[in-house]
Amino acid sequence: MKINLPFMISAILAVALVALAFTIFQISGERERLNNELEERNSLIARELNEIIIATPEVENSKSLIKFSDSLSHYSNFIGMALLTKGKQIFTFNEKIKPFLRFSNDYIEQSIIADSAFGKFIKIGKEEIYQYIKPVKKDRVPDSAMIIYFDAGYIDKILKSILLKNFFRWFIQVFLMLAATVLLIRWGIFKPINSIVNWLRAVRGGNTELLEEKSKIGFLEPLHREIRNIAQDMQEARAVAEEEARLRTMGEAIWTQDRLREEVRKLLPDKTLIVVSNREPYMHIHEGREIKCIVPASGMVTAMEPVLKACGGLWIASGSGDADFETVDKDGKIAVPPGEEKYILKRLRITKEEDEHFYLGFSNEGLWPLCHLTFTRPIFREIDWEYYKKVNQTFADAVLDEIKNLEQPFVLVQDFHFALLPGMIKNARPDVTVAIFWHIPWPNPEAFSICPWQKEILKGMLGSDLIGFHTQYQCNNFLETVNNAIDSRVKWDNFTVKISDRTTLVRSFPISIAFTLKDYDNHKYENTLLPGELLARYNLSAQYMGIGVERIDYTKGIAERFLAIEHFLNNNPEFIGRFTFVQLGAPSRMVIKSYSDTISRVESEAARINQKFKVKDWMPILLLVRHHSHEEIAPFYKAANFCMVTSLHDGMNLVAKEFVASRNNNDGVLILSRFAGASRELKGALKINPYDTVQMSEAIKLALEMPKKTQTHRMQQMRQQIVENNIYLWAARILRTMVSIQS
């Protein structure tokens, strides 16, 4: 991008006009000042002359008047003066002025009549003359006038000098400012714009790595961001076209965001999908003086976000960020994701007491340990149950308010926080199609019978038209629980429950992640960091690296994992100094004792094992306890030799699928607990019992020594499974089932 000649000529003309305007303005002010100065000088001379005239009886022959006239000659521009009475000349100094008097007669008479002094510029030939006329009073009656002449040509000379000097001065100043502006535009704007053009050209050519580059100049960041979105859309469109071509070639029905969007248009014409969850997909927090938008750590959010981006609609959730309600409108709504605005997030305000009893109490000290069967005793309190019912009703009221003008809407409720919500919605609006997806395991009937309010929970869930679990095993546990606990008709042939005239379908929908053919490419090899390069950021040196990623929760088997690493190093000392395990752990629910105890145990075990084996510039376990973004986790996923998912009990565990999806080079090993739902799908993983330290230790050695060919075969198998059963297929299956119920 260049600055052309017409622009430069126009700019120079503009500079000249601006300089001329400033100069004219300054000359106008200078002329007024010089005129005032000349008038003040004449006024002073006239005052002194008047005093002499009054004190002199014989004006015509007054020596004092002649002497005063002589004294005025030191003024370089003084021409002369005269005293006149009724047109008769009484006294004249400098005969040169006699021709001027005929131009002044009328003004002299006017001055005497008006008893007022005034000055006036007159043009005589080529001379510019200033005359000053003042009445002379004797006996308080003006009977004569004095007139003083000054050559005013010097004023024009001064102004012409100012015109030339100041015009060029202003011209140079403005020209320099323009030159600086042009340079600023050229280097500060045109150059970044040129870089954006080159950036777009490269992206258009397929260099997607440039999409992550940031603008080099701050004020262009919004434009850069919008162009980046357009470029990403272009890449997505190209990927969709490539996927469609590959689908036609491969004859496979791989689901994509666009395909789900079209499916929703057919399934839900003119209808809104409403998702309800406790955890919000985006939260706003204060960071210094600014407000930052972050994505909270949650497997449920990871799964549901792509669905809402594809389908649009409304997501209702608790507002948990300290700046959440500063960013929403009067109805508590905000368009998300930031910069894309694909759907609406509605935030509900939950009080501290409600959060303490509904979320921390009944949900996480009661239902969570009850369903996970990890030998942590569930705690049930009456006050927690009351708040659980209250918050469920709050969300039900919010949903009903949003759907009051909608016909036969669709509501998808998420997880164990809202077991009562389907029944509350259905009782108020029987025409609503409601589904609930239970993201955590469902225990056997004997275990669930511990809950004092199991009947109320089951009836609330059976207010749904559809109940979804990750696996058929969990569906079976639920149906057996219903059959044992409440009066109902369970039909095992089609997995339904009938209470009175209401029928609920129970189905398995293994949840997944947003992974499509454009992500799955066996021949795409990326330049990833080696384990040693990544560990060097933490002043550690190692050749091999394992990775674990999760919230620090007693169900995740993190401490058990550390014991397996200790056993591995005890039995394989050749890996001491060569292998480090990195644990990315997000602190969670710290006010609950079982969680704070878990973090203390994890930190204690890591410290003990590190102290036992640590050598210079190396430690066996690098524990990083804080919230990590997806961007921060990605390099660890890609660099690790293996990932350990050692859940003691888990509904699915999407970390396993995220790790597999990240391995574009089709290498690496997944060590996976057989008690995680993902183990039923990911056949290429090394399956372990997280309670068996020896077995986990042997799996670590097998992962580190596994031949690349074997790694590739296993990883390709798992990646194929995820791409064929991604989150878009999961959403399509649920929505299709909900539509079939309504019809």
Note the pLDDT tens digit of each residue in 353-371: 999 999 999 999 999 999 9
Mean pLDDT of 658-681: 95
Question: Distance (Å, rounded) from C-alpha 232 to C-alpha 211?
Answer: 8
For residue 394, pLDDT beyond 90? yes
Q: Over the range 629-665, which residues count as b (16 or more CB within 10 Å of their CB) and which as e?
A: eeeebeebbbbbbbbbbbbbbbbbbbbbbbbbbbbbb
pLDDT (tens digit per residue) in 210-243: 555 555 555 556 666 666 677 666 666 666 565 5
Architecture (CATH level 2) of domain 5-157: 2-Layer Sandwich (3.30)
State the pLDDT at residue 91. 65
Query: In this predicted structure, which of 95-104, 147-156, 285-294 has the lowest mean pLDDT?
Result: 95-104
For residue 446, pLDDT beyond 80? yes
Confidence of residue 457 (pLDDT cuts 50, 70, 90): very high
State the pLDDT at residue 527. 61
185 against 383, higher pLDDT: 383
> Domain 531-725: which topology?
Rossmann fold (3.40.50)
pLDDT (tens digit per residue) in 155-164: 777 777 777 7
Mean pLDDT of 501-523: 86
**Percent of the chain's residues with pLDDT above 70:** 82
Query: In this predicted structure, which of 179-188, 420-429, 454-463, 613-622 has the lowest mean pLDDT?
Result: 179-188
For residue 14, pLDDT beyond 80? no
For residue 413, pLDDT beyond 70? yes
Query: In this predicted structure, which of 74-88, 304-318, 553-567 has the lowest mean pLDDT?
Result: 74-88
Please check whether the domain covering 264-350+395-508 is classified as CATH 3.40.50.2000: yes
Mean pLDDT of 259-288: 88
Instruction: Tell me the torsion sign for CA atoms 13, 19, 24, 27.
Output: negative
**Percent of the chain's residues with pLDDT above 90:** 51
Greatest mean pLDDT among 222-226, 526-530, 684-688: 684-688
Question: 741 and 494 in contact (C-beta within 8 Å)?
Answer: no
State the pLDDT at residue 461. 97
For residue 540, pLDDT beyond 80? yes
Q: Cα-atom radius of gyration of the chain, to the nearest Å?
A: 45
State the pLDDT at residue 61. 57
Mean pLDDT of the chain, nearest integer: 84
For residue 576, pLDDT beyond 70? yes
pLDDT (tens digit per residue) in 703-741: 999 999 999 999 999 999 999 999 999 999 999 999 998
State the pLDDT at residue 1. 45
State the pLDDT at residue 251. 39
State the pLDDT at residue 13. 73
Residue with tokens 């397996």: 564
Question: 586 and 551 in contact (C-beta within 8 Å)?
Answer: yes
Q: Which amino acid is at 25?
A: F
494 against 5, higher pLDDT: 494
Question: Distance (Å, rounded) from C-alpha 674 to C-alpha 655?
Answer: 14
For residue 38, pLDDT beyond 80? no
136: which strand partners? 144
Confidence of residue 249 (pLDDT cuts 50, 70, 90): very low
Greatest mean pLDDT among 2-16, 106-120, 250-264, 624-638: 624-638
621 against 198, higher pLDDT: 621
State the pLDDT at residue 138. 61
